[in-house]
Amino acid sequence: MKLTGAKIIARTLKEFGVEYVAGIPGHGAWTFLDGFLDDESKIPVIQVFHEQSAVHLADGYFRATGRPMAAFTSIGPGATNTVIGMATAYADSSAVLLLTGGPHTHMVGNGIMQELERKQDNAFPEVLAPVTKRHWVANRADKLPSILHRAFSAMLTGRPGPVHIEIAMDVQADAADVEIPKLHERLPVGKIYPDPEAVSQAVALLAGAKRPVIVVGGGALLGNASEAVFELATKLKIPVVTTYNGKSTFPEDHELFGGDIGYIGSTSGNKLSADADVVLSIGNRFTDWSASSYRKGATFSFPPAKLIQIDIDPHEIGKNYPVAVGIVADAVPAVSLIAAQSEAVANRDDYLAEVVRLRQEWKEKLAPRLDSDASPMTSQRPLKGLREILPRDAIVVAGSGNAQGTVKQTFEVYEPKTHFTSGSFSPMGWAVPAAMGVKLGRPDKTVVCIVGDGEFLMGIQEIGVAVTHNIPVVFLVQNNSGYISIRGGQRKITGRFVASEFATADGKPYSPDYLAIGKAFGLKTWRAETPEEVDRYLKEAIESGEPAIVEAMTARDAAGPFVPGWWDLPVSADITDERQDEYWEGRNLQQHL
């Protein structure tokens, strides 16, 4: 059939099962958007208020559903605004399709409005090259079907990730006689199974282990390996610890849950993983945050511990720690085969009693902040009431900074894919649109977005999208008038802080009126000054079934997450007190990288 480039794109996305596209139109995408208006290619368009948010929204949708969503922008600044979103998706292995307008093919290099051409003609695709799995420039309408099915293959196979297609403005308008491909005929299917010998070696190592630990990262959650991990852990009675992105892979009220690991982890999780003799890592990259900047004994001890590392990406095997067994495979078949070939463990009572004891000690450490009745509140206290209100299968989306750390440490989750955060790139401004993407993908679930006021301000305009498209997310905003996670790091490392508090010229705390902002955008709003109020208002907000903001007035001091691990934050040479000694103690214990 003869179709314009815009209609080729729209019909192909419809054929491929895409349910939404999100973005902002502009002169480079006017024709492109027209393709979504025909009955044969109609897909709902979510209009956001900043192009970066379109990618974050699509990112959240994929994390929640495993299905890709498309984001679009015009040429130039709109396209450039997507870099942070694409980098976030790339770092966290989230599949996003970004479609941007491009210069007309007959004027490339002439410096048309919003073209980057000083170093090379039409240079923008190179801006996104480091943060995409693959990118294409479509210079002919009849090439679009081929480009699109290859883009979906790149996004969804192996380690998922974002892709970018730039469509020249004249290509959007040109017509071509094409056949719309069927994705199932073009997409590689099936799982990557592990080397049988590697599985046998892993089984043997686990059989001889006295203190084994399973570490689950984002790859385990993304690979839907929760059931397989649970089967292996319970069969061999192995405690499970989690990274930021691995949180919710394993039920946190189970006796085998050991806690979170890393710099912002738990004392129990770090102790168990540091003292383990065999560590089975599943979809975990061993970032500095998850591995306490590789300080031996803080989170891991390789050697003497032996590492079994499962990852779909061979690049990750042995990258940061030497492996005893490296397994390149999908998480589910690898873990399932290890479980099937392992003998059930009859007795690990002493070890499991230690797991329970360590978890209890960690909970006792959290309790004073979690149960605090102080006003302003600790950042943990609103999470206590929220957990009691929400059903087990509700989804929380955590922003960066203090909110991210306190959710990781304090807020228990029980079912797979009920917690999402950007654990690798960790940008401010991700959580608000990502939470709406999650809700679009899982309309049957209650979704709560937990952010600090600093991050909220970086994406605050997107609360309007929740109203215009009727996306009932509850935004829990912890207001402590500043970038308090950053302030805490400054104070710890330098003894002072600058540009991290929101304050007037005379030093008084400053905060916008979030209730007035929320009401102006059309959301229901509440401000909680006390723990009793936050519990009541959260319940009312969730029961309303509408987009809502609950602002929790949170203390600046002694209100953030604990830091049981270590992070390599260099101390300035002009500081000569004990901070310098403490830093170099950690540096000297870093394992060879």
Query: What confidence tens digit (pLDDT) does each residue in 346-401 have?
Result: 789 999 999 999 999 999 999 999 999 999 999 999 999 999 999 999 999 999 99
pLDDT above 90: residue 557: no
For residue 409, the 8-state DSSP code is H
For 230-249, what is the mean pLDDT? 98
For residue 225, the 8-state DSSP code is -
pLDDT above 90: residue 8: yes
Mean pLDDT of the chain: 95
Where residue 109 falls among pLDDT bands split at 50, 70, 90?
Answer: confident
In the chain, pLDDT over 70 holds for what percent of residues?
Answer: 99
Residue 411 CA: distances (Å) to CA of 124, 266, 442, 503: 41, 12, 20, 30
Q: What is the DSSP string of 563-593?
A: --S----PPPTT--SHHHHHHHHHHHTBPP-
Residue 543 CA: distances (Å) to CA of 59, 383, 433, 447, 518: 27, 17, 21, 12, 18
Q: What is the DSSP string of 494-555?
A: HS---S-B-B-TTS-B----HHHHHHHHT-EEEEE-SHHHHHHHHHHHHHHTS-EEEEEEB-
pLDDT of residue 188: 87
Structure tokens at 88: 């976030």
pLDDT of residue 172: 96
Q: How far apart are CA 320 and CA 592, in angstroms?
A: 9
349-370 and 267-274 helices, crossing angle to 10°: 150
pLDDT of residue 517: 97
Please name the residues in contact with 488: beta carbons below 8 A apart, sequence gap of 6 or more: 402, 560
Residue 153 CA: distances (Å) to CA of 73, 88, 166, 226: 22, 20, 17, 25
Determine how many CB atoms are found less than 10 A away from the CB of residue 247: 26
Where residue 111 falls among pLDDT bands split at 50, 70, 90?
Answer: confident
In the chain, pLDDT over 90 holds for what percent of residues?
Answer: 91
402-410 and 349-370 helices, crossing angle to 10°: 130
Burial class of residue 208, CB neighbours in 10 A (0-12, 13-18, 19+): exposed
Where residue 593 falls among pLDDT bands split at 50, 70, 90?
Answer: low
DSSP E strand boundaries for 198-357: 212-216, 240-242, 257-260, 278-282, 306-311, 325-328
Tell me the pLDDT tens digit for each residue of 494-539.
Answer: 888 888 999 999 999 999 999 999 999 999 999 999 999 999 999 9
Tell me the pLDDT tens digit for each residue of 114-139.
Answer: 878 888 888 899 999 999 999 999 99
Structure tokens at 236: 């061999």
With b for 16 or more beta-carbon neighbours within 10 A and e for fewer, the 516-537 pattern comes to: ebbeebebbbbbbebbebbbbb
Residue 164 CA: distances (Å) to CA of 20, 36, 185: 17, 19, 22
Tell me the pLDDT tens digit for each residue of 461-492.
Answer: 999 999 999 999 999 999 999 998 989 888 88
Q: How far apart are CA 456 and CA 434, in angstroms?
A: 12
The closest alpha carbon to 381, from 348, 403, 357, belongs to: 403
Helices then strands, each counted (H, E), the chain:
23, 20
The closest alpha carbon to 116, from 203, 209, 28, 22, belongs to: 28
User: In this structure, are residues 302 and 269 in contact, taking their beta carbons and an 8 Å threshold?
Assistant: no
Structure tokens at 68: 């890709």
